[in-house]
Structure 1
Amino acid sequence: VGHVHKSDASYGPQKPALDMRFLRDVLENENYFDKTLNNSYAGWWYCCIPIEHIEERGLPLPVFVRGDDVEFSLRNAPGFITLNGICIWHVGFAGKFNAAMELYQVHRNSFVIQAASGICADVDFFKRIKTMFWKEITRFAYNNAELLLDSIEDFMKGPEWLENLNGEQSLKEHAAKNEKLVPLETLTEYPHAMKDDPYEYKRLSLWSKAWYVLTINGHLLPGFMLRNFPSVIAYDWFFVPGKNFRRKHLIAVNSNDNTGYLRTINRKRCFALIKRYRKVVKNYKKNHTKVEKQYRDHFAEMTTVKFWKNYLGINK
């Protein structure tokens, strides 16, 4: 069972981390369920739903992949039955981080499902994207920042755009913006990339924190004030400003497969993205209420069998 966190608009498991080699954890996994959490949902992983239920309440929204199971589950407010004998074993999401999927697809779909069916009304996805944008800028992940803006812009195109979207083509186009990671051993100039821990935490003093924010981590500083030697940071969501601070280069590492990408500060790209960010934010604030109503008005239609047959080309 998953949960949409109100505090930061993130998705995650409802249950705590458990080690299924131990009987006590097996028993806790069988019984644990926090009924006080409002935004709990069941993923599609291994999910059985009565056909009569679907006929009565409609099909999911056309946002596969990411978010369709969340919306369908929260819309129908079901009870959950989870069994230890039925499990899905997979790499943790941090281990298979895909920027196009996590930064574009997830956030675009989060806006859509919230607007169309009214779920997660107390969750601020817009605030999350704004926070993440500045994080990505300050760790020189300019493509990641671009993907976040893409998610808002595409949502604002409205339901008719979504209804006619080629989902597979959209995924390919945005996946092309993913950083091209290479084996760490090929970064011969930086042997420490294979040794340093990308998840090591490094603190910043209060003064350094202020300097980090005010200068957009060096984008407003002359080059001689920045250090050439790159820090090794995590490629996924893990964010440590202390490692990013006053660097010209950063090596983003996926320790799951020992690959990485060398990022370099680019002031021109940074300021162009900030300009676009202000334009996107202005448009969202001005028009999001109108666009959200359009999604609500199209909701009933988008969950019908007739719509899905046309959407999938079954009637053609």
Structure 2
Amino acid sequence: MPSFADQPRPADILLQTLTLPDPAICGESDIYLHRDSGVALDLDAGALHFLEGGTAWFDGYMTLFNLGVWTRACHLGGLALRLVGEGRVALQVTRERQIGDIEILVERLVTLDPDGGRIDLTQPLGGTPEHGLPEMDGLLKLRLVAQENAVLTGGAYVATDTAPARDVSLGVAITTFRREAEVAATAARMAAFLDRAGDDLGARVQLHVIDNGGTAVIPDHPRVTRIENPNLGGAGGFARGLALAQDGGFSHCLFMDDDASFQMENLTRTIAFLRLARSDRAAVSGAMVSEACKWRMWENGSVFHQVCRPQFVGTDLRHPHAVAEMELAAARPKPKGFYAGWWFFAFPVAETRAFPFPFFVRGDDISFSLAHEFDTVTLSGVVSFQEDFSAKESPLTLYLDLRNHLHQHLVHPGLEIGAMGTIKVAMRFILRSVVRMHYDSAEAQLEAWEDVMRGPGFFAENADMSVRRPQISALARDEAWREMAPLGPGAPARPGRIRTQLMKFTLNGHLLPFFSRLGGETAVPARERGLIWPVWGRRAARFYDGTGRRGYEVRHDKARFARIMRRALGLAHRWRRAYPALRDAHRAGYAEMASRPFWEARFTPARPPAEATRAAE
């Protein structure tokens, strides 16, 4: 639907639009709205066409309005719903306080107006002109029933009669490494959106494309700048973006991944929230949905408690009940250890106390969030669609995962769990790989444990991972993807309870004699390779991609298992003895490396945009 920034009213601040699907990003219409056969979705025109009696429910993840989040975190003088279109409709706005507790706020016949009619929600919600809207719980949902043939061409929730909003200027940083097509497309879409919105977003926005690969070609635009940077990973790229936000006098910084696709509504909602936020520390964490399954939530924020624990993973965004449960919970205070992923994270520059730590990738976002006391929220519909982490899993990523997990526990006092606690974390990672017969990954994780024991100097010396990365990648022998004979349809069956318990106690047969002859074989799709149950009781497993023609095979190997466990026990002994000194050294090193001077010494001097573009060509 068209942006309401095109026709602002004097005291109105656009909070969120009734967003429709964008086939280039996500075509799952049920995560936006639900409709009967009397409503047609015209994506080209951004409109809904109603036959008489046709009904549309704006109750999806992308279109409901979360009163709990907005009224608790923001100053709202009032709230209204604006609709643009033609034709007469029966309108109903409901408030769902909790699952099953629904009240009707507004119910009336309205004639849609091409100039945008307003339905006031302040008084029905108990707000007053003097005090505005109080803090309250609940989700607002809209239903339209056409009384004649009608068309809806736009809709939005707007803040009315609101005191002057804070000035927001947003320095957006996208870190990219040789994803030329993806980042160029994102930059073009953002530039076009900013041109349409003009000054009506209420914020100054500048996109900095941090090009770690030196190959991106970005069209010239006054609001887009390409910065050539050495390949210092996501940590180094986003450190460069933060430095640019500081130097440019931006009030807020937004980190985004180069492989994330998102609707520009993300910016509309984020900027509105930051303008109206009560707290100077207000920040916005975007959700992530897998490109492979665009109706299933992958992560709506995450909590670091010994390991990473994604919030609301698996929520089916097509079902209003599941979405309501997630959104009602999202309005509550965030748990201890909550952190935001850098596929979409906006935060205040003035409240930044540390720069990213040089993890290269994996763990930099966790560390950054834990080092700050941002008041972070998740906003419904602020989401990125991208390849999920299970698709990216490899010995290298698992090396990086264990390395950062151990480091987080060493440097952040609130995560202190002692020598034995951190040994359990390391053993949990390694045993998960071993029972899945991913011995390459287990060996990479042993390398991670050893590297953390080398002290904080290891991270400084390997900020670009140019030496260590190929060494770890070379460990992937059995787990290297290759062309394989195609597989027929089929999927592993869940094992029974007794078999599951037996496999747990024997580490999937590694403690049973002759298991390599007794266990069965299986084939597992790539989307399930992070799970353990598909390989319980198996002496071999083949993992394959969506085509069924690429994959790899792992086999039970007791000798290799024994070597890995001997080395793990030796490392555990060394870790326990060295732990106090190691913890103190890493904490001192963190203060030095999570700083601007550390990164400035490693940045390539920025070249003018035109010169950088010519160099890329």
What TM-score do you get using the length of structure 2 for normalisation? 0.43
Q: As a proportion of its length, which structure holds more helix?
A: 1
Q: As a proportion of its length, which structure holds more strand?
A: 2
Shift of 1:104: 1.0
Task: Report if aligned partners of 2:503, 2:536 keep a CA contact under 8 Å in 1.
Answer: no
Match of 1:165 in 2: 462
Q: Distance in 2 between matches of 1:125 and 1:71?
A: 16
Match of 1:239 in 2: 532
Match of 2:596 in 1: 305
Match of 1:286 in 2: 577
Counterpart amino acid of residue 595 in structure 2 = T
| Equivalent position SS for 2:359 | coil
Q: Distance in 1 between matches of 2:424 and 2:395?
A: 18
Change (3 A) 1:98 1:308: same
| Equivalent position SS for 2:400 | helix
Change (3 A) 1:53 1:180: same
| Equivalent position SS for 1:48 | strand
1:166-191 deviations in Å (ceiling 9; x for gaps): 433233332332311234535xxxx5
Change (3 A) 1:164 1:29: same
| Equivalent position SS for 1:76 | coil
2:482 paired residue among 165, 182, 188: 182
Note the 1:206-221 alignment, pairs <5 A. Answer: 209-210=501-502, 213-214=505-506, 217-218=509-510, 221=513
Q: Distance in 2 between matches of 1:139 and 1:87?
A: 32
| Equivalent position SS for 1:88 | strand
Q: Percent identity?
A: 21
Shift of 1:24: 5.8
Task: Report if aligned partners of 2:343, 2:384 keep a CA contact under 8 Å in 1.
Answer: yes
> Over aligned residue pairs, what C-alpha RMSD do you find?
3.2
Task: Report if aligned partners of 1:2, 1:14 keep a CA contact under 8 Å in 2.
Answer: yes
Match of 1:76 in 2: 372
Match of 1:152 in 2: 449
Change (3 A) 1:94 1:229: same
Counterpart amino acid of residue 284 in structure 1 = W
Shift of 1:213: 4.0
Counterpart amino acid of residue 205 in structure 1 = I
Task: Report if aligned partners of 2:354, 2:368 keep a CA contact under 8 Å in 1.
Answer: no
Match of 2:430 in 1: 133
Paired residues, number? 298
Change (3 A) 1:273 1:136: same
1:110 counterpart = 2:409: no
Change (3 A) 1:59 1:256: same
Match of 2:564 in 1: 273
Task: Report if aligned partners of 1:211, 1:217 keep a CA contact under 8 Å in 2.
Answer: yes
Shift of 1:201: 1.4
Structure 2: unaligned runs, 5 residues or longer:
1-299, 607-617
1:267-290 deviations in Å (ceiling 9; x for gaps): 332222222112111111111221
1:100 paired residue among 396, 399, 403: 396
State the structure with bigger RCO (CA 8 A, min sep 6), 1 or 2.
1
Instruction: Name which of structure 1's ranges 10-19 and 270-279 shifts more when overlaid on structure 2.
Output: 10-19
Counterpart amino acid of residue 115 in structure 1 = L
Match of 1:195 in 2: 489
Task: Report if aligned partners of 1:15, 1:33 keep a CA contact under 8 Å in 2.
Answer: no
1:120 counterpart = 2:419: no
Shift of 1:41: 0.9
Q: Distance in 2 between matches of 1:139 and 1:23?
A: 36
Shift of 1:218: 4.6
Q: Distance in 2 between matches of 1:256 and 1:34?
A: 38
1:37 counterpart = 2:328: no
1:206-247 deviations in Å (ceiling 9; x for gaps): 7x8557745871566247x72375223466321128x442x5
What TM-score do you get using the length of structure 1 for normalisation? 0.79
Task: Report if aligned partners of 1:212, 1:218 keep a CA contact under 8 Å in 2.
Answer: no
Match of 1:64 in 2: 360
Match of 2:200 in 1: none
Counterpart amino acid of residue 383 in structure 2 = C
Shift of 1:21: 4.2
Match of 2:609 in 1: none
1:226 paired residue among 505, 517, 524: 517
Shift of 1:157: 0.5
Counterpart amino acid of residue 217 in structure 1 = G
| Equivalent position SS for 2:345 | coil
Change (3 A) 1:150 1:257: farther
Task: Report if aligned partners of 2:508, 2:536 keep a CA contact under 8 Å in 1.
Answer: no
Counterpart amino acid of residue 105 in structure 1 = L
Change (3 A) 1:168 1:36: closer
| Equivalent position SS for 2:491 | coil
| Equivalent position SS for 2:415 | coil
1:4 counterpart = 2:300: no
Shift of 1:309: 1.4
Q: Distance in 2 between matches of 1:116 and 1:290?
A: 12
Counterpart amino acid of residue 278 in structure 1 = L
1:126-183 deviations in Å (ceiling 9; x for gaps): 3133133234323322111112211211111100111111433233332332311234
Structure 1: unaligned runs, 5 residues or longer:
none
Change (3 A) 1:234 1:129: farther
| Equivalent position SS for 2:523 | strand
1:60-86 deviations in Å (ceiling 9; x for gaps): 211131111111112212112333343
Match of 1:296 in 2: 587
Note the 1:44-55 alignment, pairs <5 A. Answer: 44-54=342-352
